[in-house]
Structure 1
Amino acid sequence: MGVNPKSPNEFDEAHLSQLSIAVSMMENKGIYALLDCHQDVFSRFFCGEGLPDWAAKNLGNETLNRFPFPLPINFTREPDTGYPVLDDCLKHTFGQYYFTEGVVNGFKMLYTDGNGTLEAFATFWHKIASYFADQSSVLGYELINEPSFPALADVLQMGLVDQKYLAPMYKKLHEVIRKVDDKHLIFFEPCVFDVFQTGFTEGPGGKEYNNRQVFSYHDYCLDVTKQGDPQSDVLCELFDNALIYLRVKEARVKKFGGMMLTEFGGLSNSTKGVEELNRVTSIADDFLQSWTYWQFKKYADLTTSVRPATTESFYTDDGELELNKVQALSRSSAQAIA
């Protein structure tokens, strides 16, 4: 997180200014911005990205240096930062790092306010909401991307992490944001491992805020090669249909407010990749779901399962537009034409 890279209460105003400029540039093109607190596997110390170094260091040097325990993998570390060397990180799929001691303990520290981490996170969101409260082209705030579990046992019971840890944290963040911004949408996600059922009973603001809160979910077919090509149309179709149907059904029954497919894709420009794009967007259309593709271009993404990282973007390594993907995603809004 570039907003407060040095300490909890020391904000990088230049970083915020650059972010605001980017939002304004998009506004000039008629594009809304969703401000997503993006993380994958918690920290660069764990071959991921997300929380600033000062937060990860609160876990202690022993935990940082033991990574990726208990996985039987050896990493070389950069002498100046202590980070695992990126080439070593990329030899393995990033999803397995969620099961390491460091990442599990990191999420536990965040959810339970260990070392004041949750309070610092609330301060972060208060700053962001204060800064962008009057920016009309900001669609909303995504509280955290793909949160994970704080103990291995918790992932065995579907919905437990949402109910026990995420719901209280989201409520706290909602209250902090609403002190300075009562207008923008707040997006909230379930635990990344709660694939078909969450533990939420309502959105973080309660039913009163159903017109200003959005249940956010992702859809990635699990049967995809490192080149970004689905291996089985049958498996991907079954998975995509089941996930979107169950997400929509739960959100409607529990009355979460709005909902949006805020990530899918990470696919190649091939026929197989485009078929999956058409499959997901068609299912989303059937349920009148808005969606966003991951991702527009390569942004030094450490945590993508495809290689090269440009595979998932709209552009090749030499900057050529991948027209098959662009054409597949150039669709009318289902809600607008229904």
Structure 2
Amino acid sequence: MRAVHLFGASVLACALVGCKASTVPGEAQSGDEASAPLRRDGRWLVDAENRVVMLHGVNMVWKTAPFVPPATADGFVAADADWLADHGFNTARIGVLWAGVMPTQAGVIDQDYLVAWDRVIQLLARRHIWMLFDFHQDMLGPLYQGEGVPDWAVEQLPGSFTTLLGPPAFGFPFNYFTPQLSQAYDNLWADTGEIRDGFREAWTAVAKRWADQPYSMGYDLFNEPWAGLEYASCLVPLVGCPAHDSQELQPFYEYARNGIRSVDQQHIIWFESEPEGSSVGTPKGFTAVAGESQLGYSFHDYCPLAALTQSVQLGLIDALPIPATCNGFNEASANEARDQADRMNAVELLTEFGATDDLELLRQTTALADEHLIGWQYWHYKNWADPTTQSQGSGAQGLFTDDADLSTVKPDKLRILERSYPQATAGIPEELSFDPDSGAFHYRYTPRAAGGPTLIYIPLSTHYPNGYHVEVSGATVVSAPNAGQLRLDNLAGANEVTIDLTAN
């Protein structure tokens, strides 16, 4: 969970208030292994059967040393992987941290760290869950009360704000707004020596380790890259800070991309923009990369009103002075993500949202993702004592009230996140909606040639305990009645397929 929703709320708050019954994903498919890896085809993620894949999943980031979840009930074990698959989640964003890969000095890889993560990777891959590797960070590292970037890569130049003023101690997310931390980010983007080399070499090591992992979906190069001293401009409507993307981040990213491509030519490389403007849709500045067809755009959607709502829940403010609707923020964020992805020849993915128990905000964000036909990864699978959000009520972000007990899942939250959705489509998606109250599901797509059937995940135990009724035109249902995965074969000559499903 990043600076953006807490950061954006800090800005807006000042202005506004004064300062389980299903199949494993892919289990019933023919040629399971042929379904991966994913590739970009226009604006879509496509499997080896030429089916458009939609992703619903979670983030998994262990932010404290050793930066990998332990093999314990409150960490991640086989039962966790089973739970994700049983509830229809087919993707996970994996926090393989730079500070874990290369902790002590540039060029020195901690192979034991990669081995530790491989335990989790194999658990997920065996359940056909696609994984996005993420160099996660918040506020750089411990010097700034954050994590993710190794200490040796947090450069302190003589005469810098940090050396003059000392490191800030306001905690997350407030340190972001200090000149010390903002300048430290500028130093990172500007480096052309050991630090940039180390970043590339760390990513190259990750890519080499999992280049042959069929359920890898690529590399999210840097989580929420703060814009530095120019951060204030990133929220200005119609202006934003696109030069941060084009002049600072893109050269930094392309340098790492070159290293990844030396060992992995196939998996998608994902660029991510600064966190502030992502949730309000200000302009972004990434451009296409010459000779590169497999790019992704990773974006986050943390409506600033979410943190205001959280402030009410924590008793920090009495009430919201405006209705708690995030529809406008979500719409702007999704539109800008589509525009940015189109301009850089990429596919977009909502890699973070949520971090809250506010059900209405989750309804709004997931409904908008359906409307825009965008896949997503919810923040966060478990609370995992997230150090950057302890003071903001860390327990709200996970799916369970007790990380060690999967029976403590938050049922109302699960009813929103566990949805009927098309996991693989033998065609091009056109329209999608799902009502988490009634279970009503509608999907429309244009058929195209594919090597397998259309697969729609159906959350039986959560939404259809008495089964369901389905009406289809343009295709034939080939799965058993009330199956946990609806399978459809397109009819020859059909120009359109529509599916409407209701609970019995």
**Per residue, is there more helix in 1 or in 2?**
1
State the Cα deviation string for residues 31-79 of structure 1 (Å, max 9, x = none). 11111110111112111111112222655798267121xxxxxx5xxxx
1:63 maps to which of 162, 167, 170? 162
Closer, same or farther in 2 for the Cα pair 1:308/1:234, shift >3 Å?
closer
Partner of 2:275: 192
Q: Tell me which structure has the larger Cα radius of gyration.
A: 2
Deviating more after overlay: 259-268 vs 41-50: 41-50
Among residues 143, 147, 156, which one is paired with 2:221 in the alignment?
A: 143
For the pair 1:243 / 2:313, whether they are aligned, the reply is no
- 1:310–1:124 Cα change, 3 Å: same
> How big is the shift at 1:324?
1.3
For residues 129-161 of structure 1, give each alpha carbon's deviation from its aligned partner in whole angstroms, at most 9, with x where no partner exists: 111111111111000000012323784652121
Equivalent AA in structure 2 for residue 294 of structure 1:
W
**SS of residue in 1 equivalent to 2:352:** strand
- Per-residue displacement from partner, 1:267-318 (whole Å, max 9, x unpaired)? 11xxxx1221121111111111010100000223222377431210011147
The correspondence of residues 17-36 of structure 1 with structure 2, limited to 5 A, is 17-36=115-134
Q: Is the 8 A contact 1:219 1:261 kept in 2?
A: yes
Note the alpha carbon deviations across 1:93-113, whole angstroms, 9 max, x for none: x22211223322221222111
1:259 aligns to 2:337 (yes or no): no
Q: Counting strand residues as a fraction of each chain, which structure ranks higher?
A: 2
Matched, 1:2 2:100: yes
Distance 1:114 1:103 in 2: 19
Unaligned runs of 5+ in 2: 1-98, 235-239, 314-318, 426-442, 445-504
Describe the superposition over 1:200-223 as per-residue Cα deviations: whole angstroms up to 9, x where unpaired: 2524x34x433x211111001101
Give the fraction of aligned pairs with identical amino acids, expressed as a percent. Answer: 29
Q: Is the 8 A contact 1:113 1:119 kept in 2?
A: no
Alignment of 1:202-241 (within 5 A): 202-203=287-288, 205-206=289-290, 208-210=291-293, 212-223=294-305, 224=307, 225-226=309-310, 231=320, 233-241=323-331
Decide which moves more: 190-199 or 122-131: 190-199
TM-score with structure 2 setting the length: 0.57
Letter matched to residue 244 of structure 1: A
Shift of 1:234: 4.9
Instruction: Kindly provide the amino acid, as one letter, of the partner of residue 301 in structure 2.
Output: D
Partner of 1:78: none
With over 3 angstroms needed to count, the CA separation of the structure-2 counterparts of 1:257 and 1:201, relative to structure 1, is same
The structure, 1 or 2, with the larger RCO (C-alpha pairs under 8 Å, 6+ apart) is 2
Shift of 1:333: 2.9
**1:257, CA displacement in angstroms?**
1.6
Q: 1:324 to 1:233 in 2, by over 3 A?
A: farther
Distance 1:174 1:115 in 2: 16
Query: Cα 1:325–1:101, aligned 2, differ >3 Å: closer, same or farther?
Result: same
Contact kept? 1:217, 1:261, Cα under 8 Å: yes
1:71 maps to what in 2? Answer: none
Question: AA paired with 1:3?
Answer: V
Contact 1:109 1:115 in 2 (8 A): no
Match of 1:333 among 421, 432, 435: 421
Alpha-carbon separation, structure 2, partners of 1:306 and 1:228: 14
1:165–1:255 Cα change, 3 Å: closer
Cα deviation for residue 243 of structure 1 reads 1.6
Question: TM-score by structure 1 length?
Answer: 0.82
Stretches of structure 1 that go unaligned for 5 or more consecutive residues are: 69-74, 76-87
Letter of the 1:240 counterpart: N
**In the superposition, relative to structure 1, how do residues 312 and 228 fare at CA in structure 2: closer, same or farther (>3 Å)?**
farther
Query: Post-superposition shift, 1:247?
Result: 2.1
Contact in 2 for aligned 1:197/1:250 (Cα 8 Å): no
TM-superposed CA distance for 1:114, in Å, is 5.9
Structure 1 letter corresponding to 2:117: L
* Alpha-carbon shift at residue 23 of structure 1 (Å): 0.6
State the alpha-carbon separation in 2 of the partners of residues 263 and 298 from structure 1.
14
Q: CA RMSD in A?
A: 2.6
